[in-house]
Structure 1
Amino acid sequence: MFKKWLWGIPLTLMLVVTGIIVYYGYSIVHFANSISTASSTSSAAGSDVTSNPSSDTIVTTIPKWEGQERVNILLIGGDSRGDDAGRSDTVMVASIDPLSKKAHLFSVLRDTYVEIPGHGKSRLNAAFSYGGAELTKQTVSNLLGIPIQHYVYTDFTGFMALVDALGGIDIDVEKDMYYTSKADKHMYDIDLKKGLQHMDGRTALQYVRFRHDATSDFTRTQRQRIFMTELAKKMQSTTSLFKIPEILEAIAPYVQTDLSPTQMLKLASLGFDIRAQEIHQQQIPPNHLLTNERVGGAQVLGVNVNKLQAYIQKLFEEDNNTSDSSPSGESNE
């Protein structure tokens, strides 16, 4: 009897673990299908997968990313309110080398004066109001000189939902931050105090949006990169892994992407191979390539596109020439 009981322990554990994997797999696939705008024939960059799992698929293993080419994903934070599509409030590019497992997080300054296909020159954040995520993706790809295969879009509500679902993020606020506006009926007022804080979704949104100081969008994008790095660390924690179904359910209504469900599964697998604290962070364009220009009485940020694209390529070449043990850090120059 005792031997039978001992034999039952691993069997019970196996059943429990299998149940957890199936439950998580179903949650991931259901989430992927709910946010994807990709057709069933979409294929991942460098991948031979051409079909999407349905929401009824039972996933017991997360598929591995198979491609060898660099993967560039556009991350868009929108300021849409009501029926107004708005402009992009935040534009970032996550660039991952699947071979070296090295990644860059580029913050693209939204006031950069760029060529928007079909609309002439304007600030970068206008691209979203003209043609949504797809036009923004094309515009940023032309600016950086790299293929951007996919995008992920969310708005203020989605950002707050993600932070709340993770249980908040700890951030050391570098100074007091205060801003108030009647335009949004004070919904997005900012009132933060200097020091280490455990931020919920609403407080975190204040932190990443504050730009009302001498350096404006430059330090704002720096804070966004800091926050995104801390967010990635939290996502990779054991506690967050156990909360995956809850997290996905919370953010699904507010996220849109052209990644197919299969691509999302593979990209998630690739993402967990990258250490969050080793992600290289850069402001784009870097300060030394920026020029202040006036267009129609308004100030914009000019850049030599050829020099910017050469700068991006140099960063990628340095990845290939640097050993895995080399430290990474942030660069604005």
Structure 2
Amino acid sequence: MSTTSAPIRYPDVSSPKVMTARAWVLVVLNFVLPGSAQVLAGNRKLGRLGLGCTLALIGLAVVGMVVYFIWPQMIYSILTIEWTLWALQIVLIAYAILWVVLTLDALRLVRLVRTRPKARGWIAAFTTILLVVVAGGAGYGAYLVNVTRDTVSSIFAVQAAAAPPVNGRYNILLLGGDAGADRDGLRPDSMTVVSIEADTGRATMIGIPRDLQQVPFPKGSPLIGSDFDENGTGSYDCGSDCQISFLYPRMEAYPEYAALYPDAEAQGSNPGIEATKDAIEGALDISIQYYVLIDMQGFAQLIDALGGVDINVTERLPIGGDENLNEVEGWIEPGEQHMDGTTALWYARSRHTTSDYDRMGRQRELQTAILTQFTPANVLSKFQGIANAGADVVKTNVPQSTLAYFLDLALKTKSLPIDNVELVPPQVDPENPDWDTVRQTVAAAMVLSSAK
């Protein structure tokens, strides 16, 4: 075959001008449609393999985008199943290797020594840049898939059974655990029930004071008749040490108490969480399907991974110090503030110039702000840090099998206003609560949320 009829495969090697033009064509083709350079000028078998893999990946990407816009929950489901993540990682690694092979072979086909001397460096540099961008991108994609798989498997309970909504709602107990140096074990200082409508994603956040006392246990709870029910009334009413926040550390400190919940660990929980959940179910007269425990010591890491959080501060708050404001390290000033993790943590914890109930409100405000910033673009751009932080600070019994559903539900929740209910004075006296009032308040909030 003559060079006239097939100038790419059979070029005029004596013409630097022709060989230079041919080189740029092959390099660009190798980038635009990997494998096409080999089909035109080299090993056609290798080229067909490259083209087939490239077209298959492009096809999968197009199908994935179409499905995402039509049925996003399907994409979430695929990307949260361990074996599909393994498969995706293998595909990306294999394609990165194939791209390297195709690029090096394309560079061989170019025959740099036959091109114009001044063009050789540019051709080689351009090819190298493309090699790093594409192969490196595929390799980095495989790494992120690995991070996703590790994060999903470390945070979400693999074997836990999926729970159905109750009265059309999912109630999730959100605990902020603080294991400070001055405390014996972890104590949940922040307790919130996030009640979400299963159909719409509309959410109501119910704040529970940590000093709530005389909390009734629900029917069938193993706490009834135990040492936690000293007066035999079916409630946690044994004096000043019976604040609801003390249930967790007491359950965890004594094996005989932990034995009240023998299946807790197997279900992705622990006795302290289960006892706290029982108490809040009894107090609010609701069923709680899942919990999420956030380690407040690592909370700052998650905020920093998100790139900080925006909060409108309404009053001056101290950073550090004691009740007499000795050794205060600084102040959080009123006004719009973009907080890093450390500042946000103090915003949630500070109480020496305000009350515990003011602090509850700030914690709920911070939780809402974080939810707002969990946008797909923000998560993707900071994915590795967010994933690593999440694996370090979050524990939950939400099963992997429901993760896609809850991701979809969370996106609906984020787009809607979030209602807040605080069970604090003067409406609720934590030391002597009127449980009828508490339950009526919670029920009314849920009815109002459903009506919106």
Shorter chain as denominator, the TM-score bin is 0.7 to 0.9
RMSD (Å), alpha carbons: 3.5
How far residue 277 of structure 1 moved from its aligned partner, in angstroms, is: 5.3
Alignment of 1:284-295 (within 5 A): 285-291=423-429
Q: Which residue of 2 aligns with 1:227?
A: 366
> Residue 286 of structure 1: CA displacement?
4.7
The alpha-carbon deviation at position 108 of structure 1 amounts to 1.0
1:70 aligns with 2:190: no
Question: Match for residue 294 of structure 2?
Answer: 154
Other structure's SS at 2:192 match: strand
In 2, Cα distance between equivalents of 1:137 and 1:143 = 10
Match of 1:43 among 161, 166, 172: 161
When you count helix as a share of all residues, which structure comes out higher?
2
CA contact (8 A) 1:154 1:254 kept: yes
Select the structure of larger CA radius of gyration: 2
RCO higher in structure (CA 8 A, sep ≥6):
1
- The structure with the largest strand share of the pair is 1
Equivalent runs, 1:1-333 vs 2, <5 Å: 8=33, 22=88, 27-36=147-156, 38=157, 40=159, 42-46=160-164, 69-81=168-180, 84-115=184-215, 117=223, 118=226, 119=228, 120-121=236-237, 122-131=242-251, 132-178=272-318, 180-181=320-321, 191-214=331-354, 216-236=355-375, 238-275=377-414, 278-283=417-422, 285-291=423-429, 301-322=431-452
Question: How has the CA–CA distance of structure 1 residues 276 and 203 changed in structure 2, closer, same or farther, with 3 Å as cutoff?
Answer: farther
Which stretch has the larger CA shift, 9-18 or 217-226? Answer: 9-18
Q: Which amino acid aligns with 2:435?
A: V
Q: How many residues align?
A: 288
Unaligned runs of 5+ in 1: 48-66, 292-299, 323-333
Distance verdict in 2 for CA 1:78–1:191, change over 3 Å: same
The whole-number CA distance in structure 1 between the counterparts of 2:431 and 2:402 is 35
Residue 288 of structure 2 aligns with an amino acid whose one-letter code is: I
Change (3 A) 1:7 1:251: closer
Is the contact made by 2:321 and 2:328 (CA closer than 8 Å) also made in structure 1?
Answer: yes
TM-score normalised per structure 2: 0.56
Deviations 1:218-272 (A, max 9, x none): 2111111111111111112522243334311222122211222223332222111
Between the two proteins, what is the percent identity of the paired residues? 27
Aligned twin of 2:94: none
Cα offset for 1:139? 1.1
How far residue 174 of structure 1 moved from its aligned partner, in angstroms, is 1.5
Which AA in structure 1 matches 2:247? A
C-alpha separation between the residues in 2 aligned to 1:170 and 1:109? 25
Distance 1:170 1:177 in 2: 16
Cα separation, 2, equivalents of 1:211 and 1:34: 33
2 CA distance for matches of 1:25 and 1:301? 49
Deviations 1:34-60 (A, max 9, x none): 123x462x222228xxxxxxxxxxxxx
